[in-house]
Amino acid sequence: MKRLGPILVCAACLLPALAQAEQALLHSERSLYRQVFVYGDADSRCLCFTRDCRVGRQSCVDLRHPDKLVFEYTQMMLGSLQLEPEPHSVLNIGLGGGTLPRTLGHLLPNAQIDVVEIDPAVVSVARDYFGYVPGAHQRVFEEDGRAYVRRMLRTLQRYQLIMLDAYDQQYIPEHMLTREFLSQVRTLLTPNGILAANTFSSSHLYQNESQTYRAVFGAFYNLKSANRVILASNGPLPGLDQVRRNAAALDASFRPLGFRAESLVSKFSTAVDWDTNARVLTDQYSPANLLNGAD
């Protein structure tokens, strides 16, 4: 059986040189769901779900440049704005250190942003160690992401942008990988609403996961580095010409975050690079841990 270490590196993203040195343990607690660790030094601070924080980090902040997006996957998640530049309602499932909702709050000051995080310990750590304070238009719900989606489907609430960024210490929770869940997420989107999902660029689930997203959304954009971000639409997928126009318009807003919007354009691909005969993941067939751990 293959160990999960190399996969975890991709999931939580490799950190640039600013935090490669040994960091001190600032906080440790056992929550209802996992071990939660915070490591840091004078330059950076990181949230981890494993004690060996050198292997994989869930969230990090550059204390010298707190607005800078340290992980490339967070930059790619903002590629969703190159499909829909001004969403008025956003759902972010998975808080981590609060990087994405905090950044979206700055970029979209008038948007309603709802954040769902199952673990109260993560919410406390985001506040106490990463400075996450929900803005006037942000709400945090301490709830399982799938339960929240199901609950919102019984209301009139719909979102123009949904971001899936929920991880445990290994990978995305199994019940958030299935066709049934993704179908519920699509229903919760407004017409032509956008989904952004943070996944692995390489894992034993890649074939099945890709085929599952395709079964629910049809064609989607794959943006890949150490992580993969899937961008899909509840309607026709915007073309690359629109992506380029929106990137040019967003570039000035993205520069303070440490990257150019136009640098993402080359990552947008609809190429089918997986086995289309792979089995779709369902509530009855979702062996995520088995697939991730086996050769």
Q: Active-site residue numbers?
A: 165
Answer whether 130's CB lies under 8 Å from 98's CB: yes
Do 46 and 53 contact (CB within 8 A), yes or no? yes
Tokens at 136, concatenated: 């006037």
CB 161 within 8 A of CB 84: yes
Q: Are 59 and 104 in contact (CB under 8 A)?
A: no
* DSSP β-ladder status, 138-141 and 112-116: parallel
Tokens of 258: 């440490």
> What backbone phi and psi angles, to 5 degrees, belong to 175?
-75, -5
Give, for 139, the enclosing helix (H) or strand (E): strand 138-141
For 120, the token pair is 């109260």
Beta-carbon contacts of 150 under 8 Å, excluding residues fewer than 6 positions away, are 184
Radius of gyration of the chain from Cα atoms? 18
Q: How many helices (H) and strands (E) does the chain have?
A: 9, 11
Measured distance between the N- and C-terminal CA atoms of the chain, rounded to whole angstroms: 6
